[in-house]
Structure 1
Amino acid sequence: MSPAAGEQLSGAHREGRAVEARRVFIGAGCNRVVNNVSWGACGLVAFSTQNAVALFSPLRGEIVTTLPGHKAPVNCTLWLPTKKDVLHVRGRETHYLLSGSADGTIMAWKIGSGKGEWFHALQLPGMHKKGITCLAGRMVSDTIAIFASTSSDGIVVIWEMAIEPTTGGDCKVTCLHSLSVGLKPMVSLSLAVLPGQGGYLILAMGGLDHKIHIYCGDKAGKFIKACELKGHSDWIRSLDFSLPVMMDGERHNLFLVSSSQDRTIRIWKMTSEAAASGSSLQLRKETIEMTSYIEGPLFVAGSTSYQVSLESLLVGHEDWVYSVEWQPPTLLTGDEAHQPMSILSASMDKMMMIWRPEKTTGLWIDSVTVGELSHSALGFYGGLWQPDGRSILAHGYGGSFHMWRDVGLDSENWQPQIVPSGHFAPVSDLTWARSGQYLLSVSHDQTTRIFAPWRNQVNPGDMIYWREIARPQIHGHDLNCVTFIQGSGNHRFVSGADEKVSRVFEAPLSFLKTLQQATLLKPDISEDFDNVQVLGANMSALGLSQKPIYTHGVKESSISNSNDGPDSMETIPDAVPTVFTEPPVEDQLAWNTLWPESHKLYGHGNELFSICCDYEGKLVASSCKAQSAAVAEIWLWEVGTWKAVARLQSHSLTVTQMEFSRNNAFLLSVSRDRHLSIFSIRKTEGGAEHRLVAKLEAHKRIIWACSWNPFGYEFATGSRDKSVKIWCVEDASSVKLLATLPQFRDSVTALAWMGRDRASNAGIVAAGMDNGLIELWSVSGGRASSGTQLSVACVLRFDPLLCHVSTVHRLRWRCSTDEKSTLELASCGADHTVRVFEVCGSI
């Protein structure tokens, strides 16, 4: 793969015209696995989102890129140099990132942190037969790194990576050693350089057998088992070696911290001493008080013996402790690194703790505790230190990040920070608000989210970052489709889920005021705040209906005592609808930004699949999964009364997508039955009149997508047969095929048509494919009245680094009242991401 042109801009394969696509925003959640997040010495955080590796900048709180290449979900990541390799980081412009996936593949990436360049370096030889679960490594020189990988196949592999010190150099990876650990695989690893030895390494591994296995080896990679550490009573989930700590004046001690599903953390001390005779060893043991030393195993590496002892047992978490990490070392004057005696732990009890020894007694205590108070959270999968130790980051069960920074001057004061957010399951649909101010997406993670550019109030000219500003719906079923209700009035949307019911939501007052803060715009006259009586919404007990909180009832609800009755599923604490003056963090999003539900639309017999609204905001069309003509009906609902006013019959299988023509005269539908249908629609006093204008078999395979030309009656269809066809409705009674675009490289799963020039009937059709890639095609002419031929040409193929890594589910152009030179395109896909692109150039 060739390098991208830069972090921000990519003018992928240009054909004829200088058209460029720029990444504006990526929203993505984190895969729900342990070990998948890594904070590099370069300052970037790497994490996995479905089959991609995403990089985000903690300073800007935004995702800067996603790296495609893996064919299966990514489980773990590792930066080289690591945060502990402080001596090898200075002046380094190039950093390397390793990622391991569920199919046993390990990939190496080269990151030019200074220039924002990302390269796919190489794919490692396939040594593992099953998913990679953990990666651990260290730099042993400026150009050599040793790292280990473990898999659920019961194999631990030791690798050597030779890194060229120059920016343009390449890396070379060789397999040094393979260790078989038996039927119970290892799920955590840590690698360190032994103190007092020139070339010996120590590898700790832990897993399902409740023991910590210690291996020693040299730089050649030949590792032999040294000892076992027993004490934990459940799976070992995390291991981390410190840097050697100078104690007792001269002696270097290495510390290992371990955490387990038994809810405890253990700190092991490894004291080095020259290999001695048995008598002197016995004498040394007798001089150590039992209060500070619990006898452990002894092992020898080279000419040095190491005594392992249990330094401390930390008990404080109430659930599985998934991760522990030593605070990264700091570089003192000269070439000496200082290892702070400080440990960060993260647990499924929704808490992160920083443990430090007391100065007087030496006993380890939790000096800092931070956590998530949201009722929808299910704990943390991991916690990480920033390289300078000033910030800590957690990732949770809900794919969310949580970051705290110590902003105190004299004493510690850990405050929440803004981090990227997004869905943690396939994103099935998205839509722009009718004003184009924000983007609404729905996902199989059972949430609806709103993303918007947040403008800086202090310095409005500063860079604008996109943020998640609300989570209107948190549901108990996978969400499949969504549409905004067009026309005037308050912001409203309709969403469809696996529960066979469509639900209507209306923006509360708290959201309208937050949106005003985000956009720095005055509200429209139609959105008069005084007319909105609902301040927010409360979550329901089963995650279905969201009850409104009224403005006149805020005081009463805030002072009511929710503990006046026995605990039950109904005694969920009241939400606190909030007007945000700065982007909300995860706790606030999950609880205080809900929209109230105003109506339910019953009628469909199966799971909702597609939904759309006309451009006047009077009719909503919906369809569901179907295997018969009776179930494949399209239902029309009247906005306001929410009555079913028509049932359109044509298809025999699931209607995959629908769209009204811009003047609302026609409804276009496409289906799994390979047919397209055109209905003429006319709104009447008592409901809606409809007539089937045309039905024809349009493609050889499932038709996934359709889109109207905003300027006329031309429309496009895209299919699994890898083709896009352009059609036209003639004389309101028939459909004519105008053109078939050249064969695409994969199934076409999403289409969006943007009008550019009404006079020449020119526009751009964006096409998204099953492989995640996006193409732009210019379309012009083709009107029967003018007699011009239809002209089509591919103007841009997006760089793969900008695109999704799996199926594109939806493409939407941002509503634009003027014919600007810059356009914005939103996309969502099966890779859990929502993306916004800026397309500029002479199209």
Structure 2
Amino acid sequence: MACNFISVGGNRHPAAADWDHESDLLAFGADNNIALWNPLDPLFRGVHRLLSGHTEVVNVVKFFPTGKKNFSILLSGGIDKTIRIWCSDTQSPANFREEKVISDHSSAINTIAVYSERSLFISGSADATVKVWQLNHLSPGHQSSADQSSVECNVELLQTIDIQPRFLPLALAISKVPGSSSAILAVAGTRSLIQIYVSAGDVFKFSASLTGHEGWIRSLSFVQESTDIGTDILLASASQDKFVRLWRLHQGEELPIASSAAGDPALGALGKSLSNKAHRFETQGLRYSLTFEALLLGHEDWIYSAGWCPQAEKPQLLTASADNSLAIWEPDPHSGIWICTSRLGEISAQKGATTATGSTGGFWAGLWSPKGDIVVSIGRTGSWRLWKSIGEQGDWRPGVSISGHIKRVQDLAWSRDGSFLLSTGSDQTTRLFAEWIHDDIRSWHEFSRPQIHGYDLNCIDTTSSTQFISGADEKLLRVFDEPKAVASLLGRACGVENSTNGLSLEAANIPVLGLSNKAVEIVGERPLDPLINGDADGRQAEDPASVVYKSTLDFDHAPLEDHLSRHMLWPETEKLYGHGYEISTVAASQNGDLVATACKASSEDHAVIRLYETKDWREVKPALRAHSLTVTSLAFSSDDRFILSTGRDRKWTIFERSSDNAFEYGQITCDPKGHSRMILAGNWAPAEFGYIFVTAGRDKFIKIWSLDISEEPKTTCKATISATSPVTAVQFHQSLLSQDDPAVALAYGTEEGKIGIHKVTENFEVSELVQISPGLLPSKAINQVRWRPGQQEQEGHTVHTHLAVASDDCSVRLYTFINIWSTFNQNRCQRV
């Protein structure tokens, strides 16, 4: 068993990501977890692990240099007021475990800086304090203890700095003072000043206050100007005033050559805020000065991060801004003036557009690769973007990256043939995941973002392999048809055999301030000089969101974020009205002719089940009445003869199809006390198993029922499975484990994130089939579990079975079981 795919979006915080220059791992905060990803992986495996420990959102992630390729230390801080120390396993450097939790701060942790030369790290918190810590550690294998896999990790608090005047620290940076053994610490945050502290022994003392910025300062970064001994240190500060300032730390009584920025007439009124005032301090008998060096202009919105290239021959600075761009800055070799040599991201013509038309709402962080030839950035949608430097000229080209939901994932649905997976959630998006097949390499990616919405999305199901329906908090349901653009890409990149011949719609877009995806045609090549602001003839500028060019869709790799947010939408074909409150659940019949829906309710009048036939999308009346509170799940039996409903009123109900009308159903049986608390999920067993169904509830029980229709409809509870917490999702696999020994697999998820997989025989004997290790489980409640339709035969008799899981921790996970059924017969229970 393996969890071979995890999709999750990153947290929107400038300090919530770091790229380790020793192990090549990139770690980033993903809700309350820490995601580990290797952007240099040639197999494009994406996120391979989520570290669970924090109880609230992770704000900051920072690697602590160890000087070893096979051993890493990771520091993290979050809204839960804790700092956590994670150490890797030398046998598998990509696997980390939590070694220590520090709870000395009284508010959220916003920033961490590390100083490996003296084994220090510094934390800044919303309690307006900065704490200096000594980290002493021994890597595994260098201890006298018997457990060579454990890590000795001791932390000592050396100093607490109460910031005066009081502000909340958002950025920290620390560096060695050239020519001495002292360290210099820069602190900034919710004021427009930078405080400088210099170490004297084990204590940092205030030395200077740098002024000039006119907004909050979000990022600080030190770099040595060159590799020569005694070279000056540069400090970059990025601010919400849209500017980056560079400061020079120089040794000696004489000041460095003064910057001409203050007298530059091109800066206009800005010149008044530029000052070459020297801030002097002394340490270990040596004199130093801190002076303003340069002002970097070019961004049009807040600047969230600034970071120096680790391997550049001359200083190179990467900045990320809310204006949807990254900028790379370096000094001109002749004049020394700092200039922007490369700009990556969105074009300015699209600034202010909605997410659906291509805007990401800004870049929150920019990171360099260990060699400086790749940069990555994360934006408002939680997706990562990647650019590679190509050729001697340093041209930057976009590359395949990762993406995922940034809020809880509410529901999942496989296409009818199992070729792709759909997910939907509270970040108001629907995402399509499929397996990219290239050069004998297989990797899962987001291949389409069919729906970008204005309301939280609660439920989804597929009516065919080219159509799905989703329900949201807006009280209606929307139907979407697959466009040729997406079908063609899935055919080229994923080997999906769906033909585009039967599809009438080519592509889709969403108007600004709109909620409905509109069908559009794919046009020819992009003109050489497109209108941006109109021309003398009075023609209007072309809206980049309203046009899809053929060349834009001519690729055979996993889509980039630009493609997903702008060109991979599905056109909306129908809206279904009728419910009075937020849609809670939706289910399509097995033959796709009928859809059943329900909404949130606190009375019988609203706790009705509405049926819609999918040919003309007309409601089948009257609505089905049985529940008094919200219906939590709906499921059609394998032959569509019955509908199972479960509700918060602790009741499950079965409706039977009329013999006269295939679209009419009527109640035949129910159990008003099926569980002692609300029932949260229900599902039918496969056809070969008969009319068997399962219900699961907040009472921590899963009950398997048999429906007898030989005379009067009668149900009997045949088996009960006990869980350790409320059960929130449940589903039978729709294939038998073995024809010789009829049995079926049952998967369920709980409120605490546990996944259970059991075997149920035809005699209703229940036994555990697989135990999934805690490190592979979600950290929050599971909202849905979905077996992939059918089984895949690969390499002879090897059978791959997939289970998709959606969770409140913002993750979509795909578990792969290899020969799980034969493994069960041999080993009775497999632990993974």
TM-score between the two structures when normalised by the length of structure 1: 0.87
What one-letter code is carried by the residue in structure 2 that aligns with 1:28? Answer: V
Find the partner of 1:38 among 11, 18, 29. Answer: 18
Is it true that 1:792 corresponds to 2:774 in the alignment?
Answer: no
Tell me if structure 1 keeps the 8 A contact 2:729–2:750: yes
Structure 2 unaligned blocks of 5 or more: 142-148, 262-274, 348-356, 825-832
Partner of 2:351: none
The 2-side partners of 1:701 and 1:266 are apart by 60
The 1-side partners of 2:450 and 2:260 are apart by 56
Tell me if structure 2 keeps the 8 A contact 1:103–1:129: no
What one-letter code is carried by the residue in structure 2 that aligns with 1:448? Answer: T
Q: What is the CA distance between 1:558 and its match in structure 2? A: 12
What one-letter code is carried by the residue in structure 2 that aligns with 1:768? Answer: G
Is it true that 1:367 corresponds to 2:341 in the alignment?
Answer: yes
The 2-side partners of 1:807 and 1:575 are apart by 39
Partner of 1:634: 609
Q: What is the CA distance between 1:747 and its match in structure 2? A: 1.3
Q: What is the CA distance between 1:838 and its match in structure 2? A: 0.8
Tell me if structure 1 keeps the 8 A contact 2:682–2:694: yes
% identical aligned pairs: 33
Tell me if structure 2 keeps the 8 A contact 1:80–1:139: yes
Q: How does 1:55-94 map to 2 (within 5 A)?
A: 55-60=36-41, 61=44, 62-81=46-65, 89=67, 91-94=68-71
SS at match of 2:506: strand
The 2-side partners of 1:546 and 1:290 are apart by 53
1:538-559: per-residue Cα shift (whole Å, max 9, x none)?
21332411111246x7799999
1:154-178: per-residue Cα shift (whole Å, max 9, x none)?
1111111112144544222221111
Tell me if structure 1 keeps the 8 A contact 2:385–2:561: yes
Partner of 1:741: 721
Partner of 2:749: 768
Answer with 426-435 or 287-296: which moved more: 287-296
What one-letter code is carried by the residue in structure 1 that aligns with 2:206? Answer: K
Partner of 1:179: 161
The 1-side partners of 2:259 and 2:62 are apart by 39
Q: What is the CA distance between 1:807 and its match in structure 2? A: 0.8
Is it true that 1:257 corresponds to 2:240 in the alignment?
Answer: no
Is it true that 1:126 corresponds to 2:107 in the alignment?
Answer: no
1:507-559: per-residue Cα shift (whole Å, max 9, x none)?
11111111111223544xxx4x33322111121332411111246x7799999
Tell me if structure 1 keeps the 8 A contact 2:653–2:667: no
Check 1:393–1:407 CA distance in 2 against 1; reply closer, same or farther (3 A cut): same
Find the partner of 2:80 among 99, 103, 111. Answer: 103
The 2-side partners of 1:555 and 1:95 are apart by 49
Partner of 2:368: 385
Tell me if structure 1 keeps the 8 A contact 2:511–2:546: no
The 2-side partners of 1:238 and 1:195 are apart by 22
Partner of 1:401: 384
Answer with 589-598 or 160-169: which moved more: 160-169
What one-letter code is carried by the residue in structure 2 that aligns with 1:545? Answer: S
SS at match of 2:595: strand
Tell me if structure 2 keeps the 8 A contact 1:811–1:825: yes
SS at match of 1:629: coil
The 1-side partners of 2:512 and 2:739 are apart by 51
Q: What is the CA distance between 1:463 and its match in structure 2? A: 2.7
The 2-side partners of 1:260 and 1:556 are apart by 37
What one-letter code is carried by the residue in structure 2 that aligns with 1:129? Answer: S
Check 1:35–1:771 CA distance in 2 against 1; reply closer, same or farther (3 A cut): same
Find the partner of 2:673 among 697, 703, 712. Answer: 697
Find the partner of 1:356 among 327, 330, 340. Answer: 330
Find the partner of 1:476 among 454, 457, 481. Answer: 454
SS at match of 2:244: strand
* Number of residue equivalences: 770
The 2-side partners of 1:607 and 1:566 are apart by 43
The 1-side partners of 2:780 and 2:157 are apart by 31
What one-letter code is carried by the residue in structure 1 that aligns with 2:749? Answer: G
Q: How does 1:116-515 map to 2 (within 5 A)?
A: 116-140=93-117, 145-167=119-141, 168=149, 169-182=151-164, 183-198=166-181, 200-218=182-200, 220=202, 222-243=203-224, 245=226, 251-273=230-252, 281=253, 284-285=254-255, 288=257, 291=260, 294-329=276-311, 340-373=314-347, 375-408=358-391, 410-456=392-438, 459=439, 462-486=440-464, 491-515=466-490
Check 1:566–1:724 CA distance in 2 against 1; reply closer, same or farther (3 A cut): farther
Answer with 177-186 or 65-74: which moved more: 177-186
Is it true that 1:830 corresponds to 2:800 in the alignment?
Answer: no
The 1-side partners of 2:530 and 2:612 are apart by 39
Partner of 1:722: 700
The 1-side partners of 2:497 and 2:103 are apart by 58
What one-letter code is carried by the residue in structure 2 that aligns with 1:540? Answer: P
Q: What is the CA distance between 1:124 and its match in structure 2? A: 2.8
SS at match of 1:697: coil
Tell me if structure 2 keeps the 8 A contact 1:194–1:201: yes
Check 1:817–1:365 CA distance in 2 against 1; reply closer, same or farther (3 A cut): closer
SS at match of 2:335: coil
The 2-side partners of 1:614 and 1:575 are apart by 34
What one-letter code is carried by the residue in structure 1 that aligns with 2:103? Answer: G
Partner of 1:8: none
The 2-side partners of 1:618 and 1:682 are apart by 15
Check 1:579–1:604 CA distance in 2 against 1; reply closer, same or farther (3 A cut): farther
Q: What is the CA distance between 1:621 and its match in structure 2? A: 0.5
TM-score between the two structures when normalised by the length of structure 2: 0.88
Is it true that 1:777 corresponds to 2:758 in the alignment?
Answer: yes
Partner of 2:827: none
The 2-side partners of 1:426 and 1:347 are apart by 26
Partner of 1:11: none
Check 1:132–1:684 CA distance in 2 against 1; reply closer, same or farther (3 A cut): farther
The 1-side partners of 2:771 and 2:18 are apart by 31
The 2-side partners of 1:569 and 1:672 are apart by 51
Partner of 2:503: 532
1:653-672: per-residue Cα shift (whole Å, max 9, x none)?
11111111111111111111
The 2-side partners of 1:689 and 1:161 are apart by 67
What one-letter code is carried by the residue in structure 2 that aligns with 1:542? Answer: L
1:735-756: per-residue Cα shift (whole Å, max 9, x none)?
21112213x2211111121142
Q: How does 1:535-554 map to 2 (within 5 A)?
A: 535-550=506-521
Q: What is the CA distance between 1:798 and its match in structure 2? A: 1.3
The 1-side partners of 2:306 and 2:613 are apart by 56
The 1-side partners of 2:207 and 2:99 are apart by 33
Q: What is the CA distance between 1:759 and its match in structure 2? A: 6.0
1:82-125: per-residue Cα shift (whole Å, max 9, x none)?
xxxxxx63x43100111111011111111247724523232333
Is it true that 1:801 corresponds to 2:775 in the alignment?
Answer: yes
Tell me if structure 1 keeps the 8 A contact 2:533–2:541: no
Structure number with greater CO (CA < 8 Å, separation at least 6) is 1
1:171-205: per-residue Cα shift (whole Å, max 9, x none)?
2222111111154211110111222113x111111
1:373-423: per-residue Cα shift (whole Å, max 9, x none)?
563321011111111100111111111111111021x21110001111111
Across the aligned residues of Structure 1 and Structure 2, the Cα RMSD in angstroms comes to: 2.5
What one-letter code is carried by the residue in structure 2 that aligns with 1:741? Answer: I
Tell me if structure 2 keeps the 8 A contact 1:210–1:234: yes
Partner of 2:575: 600
Tell me if structure 2 keeps the 8 A contact 1:207–1:236: yes
Check 1:566–1:832 CA distance in 2 against 1; reply closer, same or farther (3 A cut): farther
Tell me if structure 2 keeps the 8 A contact 1:610–1:655: yes
Find the partner of 2:546 among 570, 573, 582. Answer: 573
Answer with 145-154 or 704-713: which moved more: 704-713
Check 1:684–1:411 CA distance in 2 against 1; reply closer, same or farther (3 A cut): farther
Check 1:94–1:545 CA distance in 2 against 1; reply closer, same or farther (3 A cut): same
Partner of 2:271: none
What one-letter code is carried by the residue in structure 2 that aligns with 1:585? Answer: L
Answer with 300-309 or 810-819: which moved more: 810-819
SS at match of 1:595: coil
